[in-house]
Chain A
């Protein structure tokens, strides 16, 4: 998969040639940034760790960035017993299993423009891991642009995660159903990132999906901003100006109290990342229960059809 890096010349829309300098590297790094550090990612050193987490779990075995440790969201990122995100103890065990200590810089990428990479990023933010970054463009950008891949298995070093969390360090990034219910009818802006046909309630259970809901529609007053509006055609995040326009043109502004959600809480992690980390919104909560919870609950208000404007 090595080769020359194609230029962007033949794309229909003019795009910036590089991710360099677009966003602070404390939250988002480019494929070039990762490529320049592959030796360190592939070593037993614990200062840097690269993780690949895909929606389609079989992608990792077909080829991954050298040194990238695989994560399976179905088994690694959720607590099967509690039907919840990882508990503090489970998160610590997960991080240790991937060779990550409290001092490790964790860089995450994945398929579908980083859906589950963003979800893991959000969980790590929730538990307060100090240094986490997403690789812009994710897995597709990496493979489409000829960066190296391998099918070699990666064995991370044995480590202990010191100062392990026993509670979320930043509970304010998460919204529970009670928070959502309390916010309906207030100034809080709900951002629903699903497809318009899901938002309207035309589709309650997407084809081939296990994650259905008894009812279709959206949380009353929500604004529909499809998650893919965050990215350019080549999969990199849009520029700061473009992203700001996507949200502010829908009346979702930096000082608003915002709650984002989708179907199972993965796509809305991307939007949470954009609002919280790239645009610097002040109060953004992620309702990870999302539509599989809200659309199945008894007695909660639901709105169907087009958005009423939301602002």
Chain B
């Protein structure tokens, strides 16, 4: 299996949904898409962020007339239904089904014209950047896809190829995403591994800081932020 990863960068004003992510830095979105042929697609999208920012997203997220799929200057000619599956203070999960497609210049549906079934799409949104990871069994049509996708982009969008490699890991934590930034996660994972949370502690903050090559205060801050975030998310899920 191959992993074809690229990013699309949006100028402000180019896409009303992406604009929200540009204006509100706490917002992040992860989605998984699938489609079997070029006439329909479905996706599960998880949006996380501060409560006020998420409130601002709701209107667009649930408005079925808002086209969050097309990458070209043409809106999709199709039917769209969206259901809200999870509504937490710091997270929304939606399911969207796009059907009866006459044309829809979205990454999954363009891909479906070139690559037969079994393709999985992972999409992450943050700021002005939308990153796509396309998982395919066979990479023989990726060259065609690269040229085609890049040529479809509407005004204000730019394409950047990242890599085409054989898949060796799976990063998505769509439904259990701990919502902790990468540097906090790295610190937390190392702390757990070295026994920081054991009684008695298997490692001191100074030792963790030395291993990470960071000041003690930074490591302390990251651990407090990460554990606070996880505690809040735990409370959310119990609510």
Contact = CB atoms under 8 A, between A and B. Distances in A.
Interface of A: 6, 10-13, 55-56, 112-113, 140, 144, 195-197, 203, 206-210, 226-228, 233-234, 267
Given A208-B143, A228-B152, 8 more contacts: A207-B143, A207-B161, A208-B4, A208-B141, A208-B145, A209-B146, A226-B151, A233-B73
Nearest to A140: B103
Contacts of B196: none
Given A207-B146, A208-B164, A144 B102 contact: yes
Given A206-B143, A209-B143, A112 B148 contact: yes
Contacts of A10: 75, 77
B142 interface: yes
A197 B148 contact: no
The list of the 6 closest CB pairs from A to B, nearest first, reads A208-B142, A209-B143, A207-B164, A208-B143, A233-B73, A228-B151
17 contacts: A6-B102, A11-B75, A12-B73, A13-B73, A112-B148, A112-B151, A206-B146, A206-B147, A207-B4, A207-B146, A208-B142, A208-B143, A209-B143, A209-B146, A227-B151, A228-B151, A234-B74
A252 to B, nearest CB: 20
Interface residues of B, number: 31
B127 interface: no
Interface string B156-168: 0011110110000
Interface string B105-145: 00000000110000000000000000000000001111111
B150 interface: yes
The residue among A6, A203, A206, A227 with the most chain B CB atoms within 10 A of its own CB is A206
Contacts of A226: 151
Contacts of B153: 228
Given A207-B161, A208-B139, A12 B145 contact: no
B72 interface: yes
A62 B211 CA distance: 59
B106 to A, nearest CB: 14
B154 interface: yes
A196 B113 CA distance: 25
Contacts of B163: 207
A144 B103 contact: yes
Contact of A12 (B74, B103, B143, B151): B74
A206 B161 contact: yes
A208 B164 CA distance: 8
Contacts of B102: 6, 144
A56 B144 contact: yes
A267 B148 CA distance: 11
B144 A233 contact: no
Nearest to B72: A233
B160 A197 contact: yes
Contacts of A6: 77, 102
B77 A203 contact: no
B150 A195 contact: yes
